[in-house]
Structure 1
Amino acid sequence: MVFWNRPMSLRLMAGSAPKNTLVNTYKELKMSHILKKKDLETIYDKVVEILEQIGITFGTKKALELLAKNGAKIEGDKAFIPKALLERCLESLPKYDYENQGPKRITATSPFGMVPTILDDETGVYRSGTVEDVVKMYKLTQTSDLYECASPCVIDPVDNDADDLYVGQIAMLLRYSDKWPSVGIRATAQNSKDGNLYQSARKSIRLIREFYDVWDEPVMGQSICPMSPLAYDWECLDNLTAAIEEKQNIILCPCSLTGLTGPASLLGLVIHDIAISLAGIVYAQLLSPGIDVSICSCSGATDMRSIQPAYGTVECVYIEGMLYEFAKYMQIGCTICGALSDSAKVDYQAGAESMLTTLMPYYASEINEVWCYPGLMSAWYCGSFEKLILDEEMMRNVNRALKGVNLKLDPKLMTSLTEAQEKNTFLQGKTPSAYRKDHYLTKIFSKYGVSQDISPEKNDVRLKVKMEIENRINQYQAPEITEDQKKLLQPYLPSKCSF
């Protein structure tokens, strides 16, 4: 494995900010669709006001002392961050090149996102995730070209009997996948050995370093979810501090819900999320100047009738789009999520919402990439392997849409028209390659209509999905692992994954 072949969104982060007024960088970028320049300036002013006057809660003495040492006013566990300190830290933050991203595309970071529950597609029963689900997830990830990362997507499997439950999940990632580790789960007092989550977080990073023998550059992406409203609790800070001290790629992912854990208005929620994200950037830059930090939104709307999160919505796309446009304005790396759904079944709703949240961002704003979580259901609570396959097919169709139409004129067009008129058909003399230049041929969705003569293997989508899963599992080949790497992983793996 060439380990430094990181996903495109991470490879494009480089260099430091030019020493100029940050808001002036906007004039070099294309105009946004959702927010105008005046809106962006207003958001920035409000964020500065929040940091200076309302403050951010930091749950450890170490963090508060670091902020105080650099000019922040401290009252209890709250830090008030002055504008000068914010802009000094933003200057040291590596900048994201939004002008050289390549063609628009859909890709997948990992299945499910971070789910504790799995929908059993055979029985329709919801159950806690298991080690077997994790292994199955990695096998499907490895056998698809859509995924650029690997992540322990099933949070804390119930039958994980590793000595350190958190490090055991990272060991499973290394055991079954050779893709870039992008870790969305975090160490907690419950899943870390002896409740020492900082130790487990550091150990997991060191395990990846030692496994690949890479010590001088990042070896993983670590997602950190601050708490709403406007807080970094001690668990969050211990994980964040471990990732900073190990100089990893860090993604700050606020997870706020309109009217429930955040402001009711979409713009208000975005301002809240930006404020807490920039506070995290300040902390990271003070602890390790120049470290890569990007942002992502795991925030969404709330259905106040049921007090349930609503991610498969137009509102969620607008929340992500506004965060993206502000990040672009500030040249901060930002990721947009797709394939989101609130459905608890693999049904029309699940497909419609997955397509909406994957395709709509390209119409709402000038976005080049959407990173999907195939199989995600029930507002980040549940995963389905059946939906995973269907979402992958949805992504391929969206990529076909983004590719557009080939406008290069076929030099043989007039000849083919003449021959077709003479023979009364276009079928003769054509090659499959000529057809495929302009067509995407789905392997999963049925195009056979209502004919009763077509076999179920061709016309039954659910049967085709089941067969695809079985075929992919059978095709899986474990990454090549040396005997030394096996010895390294063995003490940390759950017993079901032992060599």
Structure 2
Amino acid sequence: MKAYERFISKREIENIHEHTMTILSEVGVKFEHEEALELFRKHGAKVDGDIVYIDEKMFNQALATVPRQFTIYSSKGDITIGNHSYVKLPVSGSAYLQDGDRIRAFTNEDVVNWFKLTDTSEVLDCVMTNPAFAAKQFTRDETELGFLAMVLKYGNKPAAFANPSTATTPKNQVREAYRRGIRLVKNYEGTTDKVVGSHGFNPISPLCYDHEPLERIFAVCEEGQGVWFATCAMPLLTAPSSVVGLLTMANAELMAGVVFTQLLKPGTPVIYANVSGSTDLRTVQLCMGNPETALIWYGASGLADYYGIPFRTGGAFSDAKDLDYQAGMEAMLSIRTTSEIKPDMIFHALGTMGTYNVTSFEKFLLDEEIYGYTQRLNRGIDVTEEKFCMDMIRKVGPRGTYLQGRTPKIFRDEFYMTKYLNKADPNDWQNHGAISLKEKMQEEVKKRLSSFKPAVITGEQEELLNQYIPEQYRNHL
């Protein structure tokens, strides 16, 4: 039995698909881009204004060309997506940092430190993706490509999901700017025809793709790269007021995007992601630290399994605004769910708070601990003969002690040893200053940042990248 089947059956997943086809063929999906509409017309879709209607034949033909697995090439280690690959990426795009007792806007120094944390993490498989420098003092090249060039130059891990930043690019130049970013990565990697990245896009719920993301999708497909679609709908605001209603509508959004990519370039690698949550109607805010978020992930994993498409979930989600009980409780819920589903890709794997909007360096390190806990839990109980320890039991006998000499390897293999959590005697903790976990983690963040060592790259690669990196980061971080 697959993990999602404890919450929704395969027949119920099929029922969601059947209702999805009703939405696609009768309600339609809005594509706010004339070139996209013309592509659908060319392939025989019904188009009314900017609403596209997708029938089952077109749907199935497109689905047949989606790869079940694909590899992103990197000289720092290829990344394979598919077959529960469990590739972990950090949180990205947060506007604010949880700093001590306050929340404040990210600075350029914070962006650099965040990169260092991701690069030195033993949990993450890739460096961070697409944060933005505060760009007032930078040239357009530095604004659009500076961070991308920086992670390529200094990162020891693949930058398989790093994007150019086009937030301030004129609308009529977005596609070419995005292509420039992809070509920069290709030139760095010394290839013209390999997949060197996968790029994320979000539909606008309900049932809409707007112009600028479609421009970027055109660029990605034209350059032969991967795409991932992630919807984040809010029940009763941008989605129906039930979990299955949300799952069905979101599925229609996502699969319309999948069909579009396959019409544009058959065989384009795609990742499926529904990272919707709940809505707190008291504050009209999106909530990600709720049990319904976990149920949505289970449902999304079932749908991706039904279609045979690689899929993504979230990771360490929390709505908390401080490093407190709520942050730990919600992060454990979402990471435990993620680890049980074992998706192909995890975004926001570490450090997220404030419902996507806030990042915490301290929580980043503690979230690593949660992955350690869940990894150990998922291993279960080993009942091989060696683990019965019968020789040891015979030797110690009744009323003896098993504490003899050095810690045996079998103990280290069996029992998880926390790096940061306080397991000391209460009086001992109090007698040594009663240091809070938050205070301890602030010091641990400093230690981690000081451990960063930049990657070694060739002189040609450095020359290629330095022309885009802002001067203050050109030679060192």
State if a TM-score over 0.5 links the two structures.
yes
- Does the CA-based 8 Å contact 2:294-2:334 persist in structure 1? yes
Matching of residue 498 in structure 1 with residue 474 in structure 2: yes
Matching of residue 310 in structure 1 with residue 287 in structure 2: yes
C-alpha distance 400-153 of structure 1, shift in aligned 2 (>3 A) = farther
Matching of residue 108 in structure 1 with residue 88 in structure 2: yes
Q: Find the counterpart in structure 1 of residue 274 from structure 2.
A: 297
| Cα distance in structure 1, aligned partners of 2:369 and 2:36 | 45
Identity %: 29
1:196: how far off? 1.9
* Aligned equivalent of 1:161, options 138, 143, 156: 138
C-alpha distance 253-368 of structure 1, shift in aligned 2 (>3 A) = closer
C-alpha distance 350-312 of structure 1, shift in aligned 2 (>3 A) = same
- Taking the TM superposition and a 5 Å limit, the aligned residue runs for 1:15-34 are 32-34=5-7
Per-residue CA deviations over 1:90-134 (Å, capped at 9, x if unaligned) read 11111259xx947xx976311x2321111223xx23222222112
1:150: how far off? 2.0
Q: Find the counterpart in structure 2 of residue 171 from structure 1.
A: 149
- Does the CA-based 8 Å contact 1:375-1:391 persist in structure 2? yes
Per-residue CA deviations over 1:422-473 (Å, capped at 9, x if unaligned) read 7832112454423202111111111103023677599643343233222222
SS where residue 302 of structure 2 aligns? helix
| Cα distance in structure 2, aligned partners of 1:153 and 1:456 | 42
1:414: how far off? 3.8
Q: Which amino acid aligns with 2:89?
A: T
Q: Find the counterpart in structure 1 of residue 77 from structure 2.
A: none
SS where residue 181 of structure 1 aligns? coil
- Does the CA-based 8 Å contact 1:230-1:275 persist in structure 2? yes
Q: Which amino acid aligns with 1:229?
A: P
1:163: how far off? 2.1
SS where residue 295 of structure 1 aligns? strand
| Cα distance in structure 2, aligned partners of 1:459 and 1:437 | 29
- Does the CA-based 8 Å contact 1:376-1:387 persist in structure 2? yes
Q: Find the counterpart in structure 2 of residue 259 from structure 1.
A: 236
Q: Find the counterpart in structure 2 of residue 9 from structure 1.
A: none
SS where residue 451 of structure 1 aligns? helix
The aligned length equals 462
Q: Find the counterpart in structure 1 of residue 33 from structure 2.
A: 60
- Taking the TM superposition and a 5 Å limit, the aligned residue runs for 1:79-158 are 79-96=52-69, 101=83, 108-110=88-90, 112-121=91-100, 124-155=101-132, 157=134
1:395: how far off? 1.2
SS where residue 309 of structure 1 aligns? strand
Q: Which amino acid aligns with 1:53?
A: E
| Cα distance in structure 2, aligned partners of 1:317 and 1:31 | 10
TM-score (norm 2): 0.89
Per-residue CA deviations over 1:31-76 (Å, capped at 9, x if unaligned) read 8232223322221121111111111111111100010010111111
Q: Find the counterpart in structure 2 of residue 76 from structure 1.
A: 49
* Aligned equivalent of 1:360, options 312, 333, 337: 337
SS where residue 386 of structure 2 aligns? coil
TM-score (norm 1): 0.86
Aligned-residue Cα RMSD (Å) equals 2.7
Matching of residue 394 in structure 1 with residue 409 in structure 2: no
- Does the CA-based 8 Å contact 1:151-1:182 persist in structure 2? no
Q: Find the counterpart in structure 2 of residue 339 from structure 1.
A: 316
Matching of residue 209 in structure 1 with residue 182 in structure 2: no
| Cα distance in structure 1, aligned partners of 2:224 and 2:179 | 11
Deviates more, 1:374-383 or 1:473-482: 473-482
| Cα distance in structure 2, aligned partners of 1:174 and 1:160 | 22
* Aligned equivalent of 2:225, options 248, 252, 255: 248
| Cα distance in structure 2, aligned partners of 1:337 and 1:457 | 37
C-alpha distance 178-287 of structure 1, shift in aligned 2 (>3 A) = farther
Q: Which amino acid aligns with 1:59?
A: E
1:204: how far off? 0.9
C-alpha distance 414-230 of structure 1, shift in aligned 2 (>3 A) = closer
| Cα distance in structure 2, aligned partners of 1:63 and 1:357 | 36
- Does the CA-based 8 Å contact 1:114-1:184 persist in structure 2? no
Matching of residue 406 in structure 1 with residue 382 in structure 2: yes
SS where residue 228 of structure 1 aligns? coil
Deviates more, 1:292-301 or 1:195-204: 195-204
Q: Find the counterpart in structure 2 of residue 474 from structure 1.
A: 450
* Aligned equivalent of 1:228, options 174, 185, 205: 205
Q: Find the counterpart in structure 2 of residue 25 from structure 1.
A: none
1:263: how far off? 1.3
1:396: how far off? 1.0
Q: Find the counterpart in structure 1 of residue 73 from structure 2.
A: none
| Cα distance in structure 2, aligned partners of 1:202 and 1:48 | 33
Per-residue CA deviations over 1:371-428 (Å, capped at 9, x if unaligned) read 2521100110110101111111111111111111221233883442344347832112
SS where residue 150 of structure 2 aligns? helix
1:229: how far off? 1.2
Q: Which amino acid aligns with 2:204?
A: M
* Aligned equivalent of 2:441, options 443, 465, 482: 465
| Cα distance in structure 2, aligned partners of 1:316 and 1:30 | 15
